[in-house]
Structure 1
Amino acid sequence: MTTDGRIPEELRRGRYLRLTTFRKNGTGVATPVWYAVEGERVYVWTRSDSWKVKRLRNDPRVELAVCDVRGGVPEGAVRVTGTARLVTGEELRHVRKLLSRKYTYQFWLVDWPAMIARLGKRPHTGIVVTL
């Protein structure tokens, strides 16, 4: 487990991230997510009504590890701990921009249909993680 505040290269290059958030009783709940890294921060974009957002409102601790699309972490993978904060507004636009750059058309295939179905509303929240 790394906690020196620097983002490992493995995390910078990964495709999916296992984001572990914590319930009130301390139990960790892991979810594979798309993410982007800029500087020494990790950015995640998620639905505002997701359980991970609710858990982060109670406890900002997170654990991160590179994973596959199903959340499986390779043996020997680097795991880091950090503190998350939820963002909206201009910061959320920045998160969306970073993710659309990394995932290009895949991101738009998810975002645009969801926006159209919700009449232009994007009920999303950004998560910014600092190690």
Structure 2
Amino acid sequence: MPTDQERLGDEKYVQLTTYRRSGRAVPTPVWVARHGTELAVWAERTSGKVKRIRAGSRVEVTACDATGRKVHGRTVSGRARLLDQDETDTVRGLIRAKYGILGALGIYGSMLRGGKQRTIGIAITLDGAEPGGDEPGHPAGSREAEDT
């Protein structure tokens, strides 16, 4: 049975839920890739999700479709951290490798609009998993998502 990190990392899209200072959840569908024992996503530095992660690292991750409306599987809690330039370059490579031409076009388009500094990588450690360590299959922070 795959771990939550493997299962979510293999999805085409995940819904990354970040939290406003008020505690209100803000779900956003994103591309995702596996990065060691973490999940990795890529975003514009000025995006709301990046601002919310700067304010607080708590996140939830659920498999979803491209619109983020239809979620499926377990929702898993975790912590997000913003990556430095070298790590962000690694995430770009992971996205290109996983998503092929679409990933390359997305990255290329973003770089045309603002260079490498326009985007930042985000690493997500799921609850129960340690960065660089072994990950249990079902962290205590998991719950089943309802199909919507």
Whether the 8 Å CA contact 2:110–2:118 is kept in 1: the answer is no
Letter in structure 1 aligned against 2:100: T
The 5 A counterparts of 1:64-79 are 64-75=61-72, 77-79=73-75
Is 2:64 aligned against 1:93? Answer: no
Looking at structure 2, the residues matched to 117 and 45 of structure 1 have their Cα atoms a distance apart, in angstroms, of 15
Shift of 1:109: 1.4
Looking at structure 2, the residues matched to 81 and 38 of structure 1 have their Cα atoms a distance apart, in angstroms, of 17
Deviations 1:34-91 (A, max 9, x none): 010133200000000000000011110000000000002445x111000000012111
Q: Structure 1 residues 55 and 106 mapped into 2: Cα distance closer, same or farther (>3 Å)?
A: same
The 5 A counterparts of 1:1-131 are 7-75=4-72, 77-118=73-114, 120-131=115-126
Shift of 1:32: 0.1
Shift of 1:125: 0.8
Shift of 1:110: 1.5
Q: Percent identity?
A: 39
Give the alignment's TM-score, normalised by structure 2.
0.77
Unmatched runs of 5 consecutive residues or more in structure 1: 1-5
Shift of 1:11: 1.2
Whether the 8 Å CA contact 1:47–1:124 is kept in 2: the answer is yes
Q: Structure 1 residues 127 and 17 mapped into 2: Cα distance closer, same or farther (>3 Å)?
A: same
Give the alignment's TM-score, normalised by structure 1.
0.86
Higher relative contact order, structure no. (Cα contacts within 8 Å, ≥ 6 residues apart): 1
SS in structure 2 opposite 1:12? helix
Unmatched runs of 5 consecutive residues or more in structure 2: 127-148
Letter in structure 1 aligned against 2:20: R
Looking at structure 2, the residues matched to 46 and 12 of structure 1 have their Cα atoms a distance apart, in angstroms, of 16
